[in-house]
Amino acid sequence: MVKKLLLLLAFSVALFGFSKSVSNGEIMGTAKCPVCNMDIHKYYKTSHAVKHKDGKKEHFCSMVCLKKGKKAGDEVYVANAKTGKMIKAKSAVYVIGSDVPSTMGAKKSKIAFSSKGDAKAFQKKHGGVIGTYADALKE
Protein backbone atom coordinates (compact mmCIF):
# COMPACT_ATOMS: atom_id res chain seq x y z
CA MET A 1 0.00 0.00 0.00
CA VAL A 2 2.79 2.41 0.95
CA LYS A 3 4.64 1.58 -2.27
CA LYS A 4 1.52 2.38 -4.30
CA LEU A 5 1.10 5.73 -2.55
CA LEU A 6 4.75 6.64 -3.10
CA LEU A 7 4.48 5.64 -6.75
CA LEU A 8 1.33 7.76 -7.13
CA LEU A 9 3.06 10.73 -5.48
CA ALA A 10 6.11 10.34 -7.73
CA PHE A 11 3.85 10.12 -10.80
CA SER A 12 1.96 13.28 -9.73
CA VAL A 13 5.21 15.20 -9.24
CA ALA A 14 6.52 14.00 -12.59
CA LEU A 15 3.28 14.89 -14.32
CA PHE A 16 2.73 18.28 -12.75
CA GLY A 17 6.26 19.13 -11.53
CA PHE A 18 4.81 20.23 -8.20
CA SER A 19 4.15 18.37 -4.98
CA LYS A 20 1.73 19.63 -2.33
CA SER A 21 3.56 17.61 0.30
CA VAL A 22 6.05 19.03 2.83
CA SER A 23 7.36 16.68 5.51
CA ASN A 24 8.52 19.28 8.02
CA GLY A 25 6.28 22.32 7.55
CA GLU A 26 5.16 24.41 10.51
CA ILE A 27 1.84 23.16 11.89
CA MET A 28 -0.47 25.65 13.58
CA GLY A 29 -2.78 23.48 15.68
CA THR A 30 -3.10 19.77 14.99
CA ALA A 31 -1.47 17.77 12.20
CA LYS A 32 -4.89 16.66 10.90
CA CYS A 33 -7.46 18.96 9.32
CA PRO A 34 -10.26 19.57 11.85
CA VAL A 35 -12.89 19.43 9.07
CA CYS A 36 -11.93 16.39 6.97
CA ASN A 37 -9.13 14.77 9.04
CA MET A 38 -6.61 14.83 6.14
CA ASP A 39 -2.89 14.93 6.96
CA ILE A 40 -1.72 18.56 6.84
CA HIS A 41 1.82 17.64 5.75
CA LYS A 42 0.47 15.75 2.73
CA TYR A 43 -1.42 18.83 1.51
CA TYR A 44 0.79 21.44 3.13
CA LYS A 45 1.25 23.70 0.10
CA THR A 46 -2.52 24.26 -0.15
CA SER A 47 -3.04 24.51 3.61
CA HIS A 48 -4.41 27.47 5.53
CA ALA A 49 -4.36 28.05 9.29
CA VAL A 50 -6.25 30.35 11.61
CA LYS A 51 -5.54 31.95 14.92
CA HIS A 52 -8.90 32.49 16.60
CA LYS A 53 -9.61 35.49 18.82
CA ASP A 54 -9.23 33.25 21.90
CA GLY A 55 -5.71 32.27 20.78
CA LYS A 56 -6.62 28.74 19.68
CA LYS A 57 -4.99 27.68 16.40
CA GLU A 58 -6.36 25.35 13.75
CA HIS A 59 -4.70 24.14 10.54
CA PHE A 60 -6.84 23.22 7.52
CA CYS A 61 -5.77 21.16 4.48
CA SER A 62 -7.31 23.56 1.98
CA MET A 63 -9.31 26.71 1.44
CA VAL A 64 -12.43 24.52 1.11
CA CYS A 65 -12.03 23.33 4.71
CA LEU A 66 -10.86 26.78 5.86
CA LYS A 67 -14.19 28.25 4.72
CA LYS A 68 -16.02 25.69 6.88
CA GLY A 69 -13.94 26.32 10.00
CA LYS A 70 -13.02 30.01 9.84
CA LYS A 71 -14.84 32.48 12.06
CA ALA A 72 -15.21 36.25 11.73
CA GLY A 73 -12.18 38.03 13.14
CA ASP A 74 -9.80 35.09 12.72
CA GLU A 75 -6.26 35.83 11.60
CA VAL A 76 -5.67 33.62 8.53
CA TYR A 77 -2.32 32.20 7.41
CA VAL A 78 -1.36 30.24 4.30
CA ALA A 79 1.63 28.11 3.38
CA ASN A 80 4.10 29.85 1.06
CA ALA A 81 4.47 27.23 -1.67
CA LYS A 82 8.08 28.21 -2.35
CA THR A 83 9.47 28.24 1.20
CA GLY A 84 6.95 26.24 3.22
CA LYS A 85 6.70 29.04 5.78
CA MET A 86 3.31 30.21 7.02
CA ILE A 87 2.51 33.78 5.94
CA LYS A 88 -0.50 36.05 6.47
CA ALA A 89 -3.08 35.24 3.81
CA LYS A 90 -4.04 38.88 3.29
CA SER A 91 -0.49 39.70 2.16
CA ALA A 92 -0.02 36.55 0.05
CA VAL A 93 -0.05 36.49 -3.76
CA TYR A 94 -2.13 33.58 -5.06
CA VAL A 95 -2.00 31.70 -8.35
CA ILE A 96 -5.58 30.59 -8.95
CA GLY A 97 -6.53 27.85 -11.42
CA SER A 98 -3.10 26.47 -12.32
CA ASP A 99 -2.58 22.96 -13.73
CA VAL A 100 -1.89 21.70 -10.20
CA PRO A 101 -4.92 19.68 -9.08
CA SER A 102 -7.06 21.36 -6.44
CA THR A 103 -7.50 19.99 -2.93
CA MET A 104 -10.84 18.85 -1.47
CA GLY A 105 -12.74 19.20 -4.74
CA ALA A 106 -12.28 22.94 -5.17
CA LYS A 107 -13.11 24.14 -8.67
CA LYS A 108 -9.67 25.74 -9.01
CA SER A 109 -6.34 25.24 -7.30
CA LYS A 110 -5.06 28.04 -5.07
CA ILE A 111 -1.31 28.22 -4.51
CA ALA A 112 0.13 31.08 -2.41
CA PHE A 113 3.46 32.89 -2.42
CA SER A 114 4.96 35.75 -0.43
CA SER A 115 6.07 37.66 -3.53
CA LYS A 116 4.59 38.48 -6.90
CA GLY A 117 7.84 37.41 -8.57
CA ASP A 118 7.58 33.88 -7.13
CA ALA A 119 3.91 33.71 -8.11
CA LYS A 120 4.69 34.84 -11.68
CA ALA A 121 7.49 32.23 -12.00
CA PHE A 122 5.06 29.52 -10.88
CA GLN A 123 2.35 30.88 -13.19
CA LYS A 124 4.72 30.79 -16.16
CA LYS A 125 5.28 27.07 -15.60
CA HIS A 126 1.79 26.03 -14.43
CA GLY A 127 -0.68 28.61 -15.76
CA GLY A 128 -3.46 30.21 -13.74
CA VAL A 129 -4.12 33.83 -12.82
CA ILE A 130 -2.50 36.03 -10.19
CA GLY A 131 -4.82 37.15 -7.40
CA THR A 132 -5.25 38.05 -3.76
CA TYR A 133 -6.63 36.18 -0.77
CA ALA A 134 -10.01 37.84 -1.41
CA ASP A 135 -9.91 36.64 -5.04
CA ALA A 136 -9.06 33.09 -3.94
CA LEU A 137 -11.94 33.05 -1.45
CA LYS A 138 -14.39 33.82 -4.29
CA GLU A 139 -13.31 30.85 -6.40
CB 82 within 8 A of CB 92: no
Which pLDDT value is given to residue 27? 73
Judge whether 8 lies within some domain: no
Mark the ranges of the chain whose per-residue pLDDT is less than 70.
1-26
Pairing outcome for strands 48-51 and 75-79: antiparallel
Which pLDDT value is given to residue 19? 54
d(CA 127, CA 75): 29
Under the phi-then-psi rule, with left for phi > 0, alpha for psi from -120 to 50, and beta for the rest, what region is 122? alpha
Judge whether 31 lies within some domain: yes
Judge whether 93 lies within some domain: yes
pLDDT tens-place string over residues 96-116: 999 998 888 888 999 999 999
Judge whether 119 lies within some domain: yes
Determine the structural domain holding residue 51 and report its residue range.
Answer: 20-138
Model pTM greater than 0.75? Answer: yes
What domain count does the chain have? 1
Judge whether 47 lies within some domain: yes
Judge whether 35 lies within some domain: yes
Judge whether 88 lies within some domain: yes
d(CA 68, CA 25): 23
Judge whether 7 lies within some domain: no
CB 119 within 8 A of CB 77: no
